[in-house]
Amino acid sequence: MSLNKVNSKTDILIIGCGCIGLSTGIVLLKTGKYNVQIWSRDLPPNTTSNKAAALWYPFLCNPPDLVGKWSAETMQYFKDHIIGDPKSGTLIKKVNEIFRREHKEDPEWRPYVQSFRRARKDELPEGYVDGFAVDDGFVMDTDMYMDYLVQTFKSLGGSIEQREVEDIREAFVHYDTVINCTGLGSRELFKDKLIYPSRGQIIVIKNSSERSIMDEEDHIAYVIPRISNTVLGGTNQEHDYNTEPTKQDTEEILKRVAMISPRFAKNRIEIQDVKVGLRPSRHEIRLENEFFEGGSKLVVHNYGHGGSGFTVSWGCALEALRVMEAGIPNLLFYKKQQQPKPQSKL
Ligand SMILES: Cc1cc2nc3c(=O)[nH]c(=O)nc-3n(C[C@H](O)[C@H](O)[C@H](O)COP(=O)(O)OP(=O)(O)OC[C@H]3O[C@@H](n4cnc5c(N)ncnc54)[C@H](O)[C@@H]3O)c2cc1C
Ligand SMILES: N=C(N)NCCCC(=O)C(=O)O
């Protein structure tokens, strides 16, 4: 009994076309063992992923040890396969996280990131006494990067269909193995009430700046320079589903950013755009197998990346491949179990 196979490759469906679904699809296609199709209700640029800042730096995401491992693997993957390609919209940019109070503890992901160091005094704006630094951090011009992922996925033979899945059994009609990269959509599709929105608003401006700088100690303030513009942020309103920007949040963000980067206090800021995204927040990333229909169908869950989807994307994609390949033999076993027993001749 074999799985759905065409041209001796196993057919896999991915639900979701955000940074997680696309990264996972690319990793599967690069093995040469799978035909991969994506079904997704929204396509770039209309995904949460497209609303991200985005830079490499763990944030609002757990569990800490795995996020550290997957963040480091993602940084290495970017260095090996992406940053050198100008079409990717990525740039190496030092990042500083700064604190108004002394911060004795290093971040939990420190053991995984060799380039981590403490900030120098000259990197701290007035009123800040401590900080972290990652000199080989990098940023993504999000829409450019998302288009790059779509093009890479398609160039490897992947196909994308705009299609909402209301019941996972729709997918099982055509596929034995499905990878769930629906982010916040898992709240409905898999009735996972542990995943909820954390609303983030950002401002896109013309000015650029030489580094990414963030204060996330008591509130959120960040400046993230990109190729074509700079992102100022942000907010983190849990269980808030409002996807419309508010004037109040814009004013709050500008006030907070002026404190971490005085140049924004002095210069007139030319706002190009204001965006809102709902981070898929969960107490921890769900990256595991779940069997359905008596074990004859496999769903690999890969969702709940909170404020770090881009930062852990490739580490999680590689883990999803490993988890899926550990699950498929059981699928075959269950399918064999369900085959009708040959009638005895006696
Ligand atoms: C303001 C803001 C700034 C951020 N900045 C950063 C940053 O600097 N660095 C970083 O690492 N992360 C950042 N993030 C977090 C990052 O954006 C998310 O972690 C990431 O986008 C999650 O990716 P995803 O693919 O899981 O989700 P999504 O991008 O939401 O993709 C989910 C996909 O599944 C589809 N889908 C859902 N349900 C169904 C269904 N039933 N049927 C079919 N399709 C379905 C959706 O249409 C969508 O295509 C930021 C987030 C926000 C809001
Ligand atoms: N430590 C961070 N990554 N914060 C700054 C980037 C924005 C972000 O991740 C979000 O708003 O979710």
Whether 75 is covered by a domain: the verdict is no
Pair 213, 264 in one domain:
yes
Q: What pLDDT is stored for residue 339 in this prediction? A: 74
The alpha carbon of 31 and the centre of ligand 2 are apart by a number of angstroms equal to 31
- Grade residue 170 by pLDDT with cuts at 50, 70 and 90: very high
Pair 31, 158 in one domain:
yes
Determine the length of the chain.
Answer: 346
Pair 202, 277 in one domain:
yes
Q: Whose CA is nearest to atom 10 of ligand 2?
A: 307
Total number of domains constituting the chain: 2
**SS3 assignment, position 30:** helix
Pair 201, 273 in one domain:
yes
Give the position of tokens 């055509």.
174
Pair 27, 146 in one domain:
yes
User: What number is the average pLDDT over the span 72-96?
Assistant: 96
> Is the bond into 54 cis (omega within 30 degrees of 0)?
yes
pTM of the model: 0.96
| pLDDT tens, position by position, 6-20 | 678 999 999 999 999
State the helix-helix crossing angle for 19-30 and 142-155, rounded to 10 degrees: 30
CATH number at residue 14: 3.40.50.720
Q: Identify the domain containing residue 252 by its residue range.
A: 196-281
Which pair of structure tokens corresponds to residue 2? 């074999």
| pLDDT tens, position by position, 39-83 | 999 999 999 999 999 999 999 999 999 999 999 999 999 999 999
Q: Which of 14, 41, 178 to mutate to test the pocket of ligand 1 (most atoms within 8 A of CB)?
A: 41
- Among residues of the chain, what percentage have pLDDT more than 90? 86
Q: How far apart are CA 121 and CA 338, in angstroms?
A: 67
Pair 210, 247 in one domain:
yes
User: What number is the average pLDDT over the span 208-226?
Assistant: 90
Res. 1: pLDDT tops 50: no
The alpha carbon of 278 and the centre of ligand 1 are apart by a number of angstroms equal to 8
Residue (of 192, 115, 153, 86) closest to 313 by Cα position: 153
Whether 111 is covered by a domain: the verdict is no
| Averaged pLDDT score across all residues of the chain | 94
